[in-house]
Amino acid sequence: MGAKKILPSNTPMLVLKLLEEKEKYGWEIIEELAEKSFNMFRLQTGALYPVLHNLEHDGYVTASSRTIENGRVRKYYRITSRGKEHLAAKHAEWESYSKAVESIMGTSKYSESSDSLGFFRLARRRIESYTERMAIDDNDARRKKASEDGGEWVFRGALEG
């Protein structure tokens, strides 16, 4: 499986990680992602901006426009505290996944010791806890939006997206 098949589902996590360091504009994110991945992950702008818009919609990043020296307007993205929590959960999820794959492939320093099993259990609990908190936050946001719009809010179950 090439990088093109692995990248789409992990792009939001990677973008959030880059934004954790400092706020950035789109092209800066594209360049840094390529540089840090040794050109393994080379995004087109048409692939990055929908990711950024979704992250902004979900409250994981905020965007602000600034005029630069040549008079052009550039949009900068900054990770939010909610985005940092999401990144931590996704990072734990990724570590569990990659350690499991490494263990199966025989390339892991982890074995079925109580230490590594404890790590997997802890990571799973953290992911489940985060998922529950995000579902509650999402339902609260839906309720608030519906009341602001004067519409009706319908509860959709804690884990439904």
For 55-112, write each residue's pLDDT tens digit: 999 999 999 999 988 999 999 999 999 999 999 999 999 888 888 888 888 776 654 4
Distance between CA atoms of residues 79 and 20, nearest Å: 6
Domain ranges for the chain: 3-79, 82-149
- Identify the DSSP state of 74: E
pLDDT digits (tens, 9 = 90+) for 131-146: 777 766 666 666 665 5
Can you tell me the distance from the alpha carbon of 59 to that of 86, in angstroms, rounded to the nearest whole number? Answer: 10
What pTM value is reported for the model?
A: 0.63
CA 137 to chain centre: 16
Check if the beta carbon of residue 15 is closer than 8 Å to that of residue 55: yes
CATH pick for 3-79 out of 3.20.20.80, 1.50.10.10, 1.10.3720.10, 1.10.10.10 = 1.10.10.10
**Other beta carbons less than 10 A from residue 102's beta carbon:** 13
Identify whether the C-beta of residue 92 lies closer than 8 Å to the C-beta of residue 127.
Answer: yes
